[in-house]
Amino acid sequence: MPTPTTFAQLVDLFLRFINYLVPLLLAVVFVYVIWKLIDAWVINASDEQKQAEGRTLALVAVIVFVLMLSTWGMVTLVRNTLFGMP
């Protein structure tokens, strides 16, 4: 990609980077959460402390996923409305 020469091109470059980065981050976080939940609820099912950690992790994971998807949606909204780029 050529070097951006206008502000709109610079913003487009950053937004394209974010659009590639967000799915990667979502995938990494998803795999990590699944592993930790399996660790807490399957591998260490008899340990009450691990189960409590698993419940806390599940709640935090839902909050993090909602925040990440919301941020991604807002970036897409700004990109589409201000810069008219799909």
pLDDT of 5: 87
pTM of the predicted protein model = 0.67
Give the C-alpha separation, 68 to 29, whole Å.
10
Burial of 24 (0-12, 13-18, 19+ CB in 10 A): exposed
DSSP-derived letter for residue 2 is P
- The mean of the pLDDT values for the chain is 85
Residues in the chain, pLDDT under 50: none
Q: Where are the domains of the chain?
A: 16-82
